[in-house]
Amino acid sequence: MIKNIFIMKARTGELIFHKTYEDIFNVKLTSQFLSAIFSFVKQTLKTAKLSEIEVSEFRFIFEIENIQNDELMFAIFADRTDNLVELRNQLREIKNQFLSKFDLESFDINFDGEISKFLDFENNITDIIEKSKKLVSEEIEKDLIKIINELHTFSSFVTSSALLTQTGRVIVSYLYPNVLSEIIKLLESRFLIGNDKINELITLESFGILSLTGIDSFISVILFKSRCPFDTALTISKKFSSRLRNLIF
């Protein structure tokens, strides 16, 4: 769950905008801490690339934008178990909308510290967060569950299945927790190297044959028993994903 959202001047820690969902710490002290971390990374490691920091059970996600003689820092503070890809997409959308809405020149050395004009950006934040909460209707979700149940009845090779987004967000899942965790890690790692979309992937794992099929922004997932023939797994996966596509779109 997202706890806080920050927009600030990276070098000084000067807050431009923040949104608090859960009051865990002093916001101003935290912005100074983030500024100090940015300065350390930039001066010691000779890079301005700051991606994420994990602190205990929490995680900071960063996006940096250069503005003439300074940098703007956009940051999300959330639970460490939250989906990294989903958070990154939300943060990038926040950055893009903020940069489109306000003039970057106003953040240069002549910035007078007046931040009241940015308060209505909270409406943009709300829209971005709310838009990402519900991807399918309750009616479609019920039909998804029906199709999944039919799949499990149809083949004795199928042990579990799911529908995820390409970023690893769970729509419906009957996967074992360890399997779901491995898939999300896979999607996060692919996202980080720029390969953010799966078309078709089938692998033999210690827990069985895992099949992932892309359906535009979604992925259908089936876990088969290890003794299932690969061609059978592929055929079932294609039929399953086709039914889901027809339902969703």
* pLDDT value of residue 168: 81
Lowest-pLDDT range of 3-17, 39-53, 86-100, 155-169: 39-53
Q: Describe the strand order of the beta sheet including 170-173 as a list of residue ranges.
A: 170-173, 158-165, 218-224, 208-215, 200-205
Q: How confident is the model at residue 32 (pLDDT cuts 50, 70, 90)?
A: confident
* pLDDT value of residue 58: 84
Is residue 170 scored above 70 in pLDDT? yes
Q: How confident is the model at residue 36 (pLDDT cuts 50, 70, 90)?
A: confident
**Bigger pLDDT: 30 or 151?**
151
The strand pair at 158-165 and 70-79 is best described as unpaired
* pLDDT value of residue 29: 80
Is residue 241 scored above 80 in pLDDT? yes
Is residue 162 scored above 90 in pLDDT? yes
Q: Could you tell me the domains of the chain? A: 2-131 (3.30.450.70), 138-248 (3.30.450.30)
Phi, psi of 155 (to 5 degrees): -130, 130
User: What's the rounded mean pLDDT across residues 91-105?
Assistant: 86
Lowest-pLDDT range of 65-74, 110-119, 164-173, 178-187: 110-119
pLDDT > 70 fraction of the chain, expressed in percent and rounded: 91
Q: Cα dihedral angle (105, 106, 110, 116), rounded to 10 degrees?
A: -170
* pLDDT tens-digit readout, 63-97: 888 877 778 889 998 887 777 777 888 899 999 99
User: What's the rounded mean pLDDT across residues 179-191?
Assistant: 82
* pLDDT tens-digit readout, 108-159: 556 666 778 888 999 999 988 887 766 788 889 899 999 999 999 989 999 9
**Bigger pLDDT: 130 or 49?**
130
* pLDDT value of residue 195: 74
* pLDDT value of residue 211: 96
pTM attached to this predicted model: 0.62
Is residue 224 scored above 60 in pLDDT? yes
2: left (phi over 0), alpha (psi -120 to 50) or beta: beta
Cα Rg for the chain, rounded, in angstroms?
Answer: 22
**Bigger pLDDT: 149 or 37?**
149
Q: How confident is the model at residue 43 (pLDDT cuts 50, 70, 90)?
A: low
Task: Please state, rounded to an integer, the average pLDDT across all residues of the chain.
Answer: 85
- H-helix or E-strand spanning residue 54: strand 52-55
Three-state SS at 193: coil
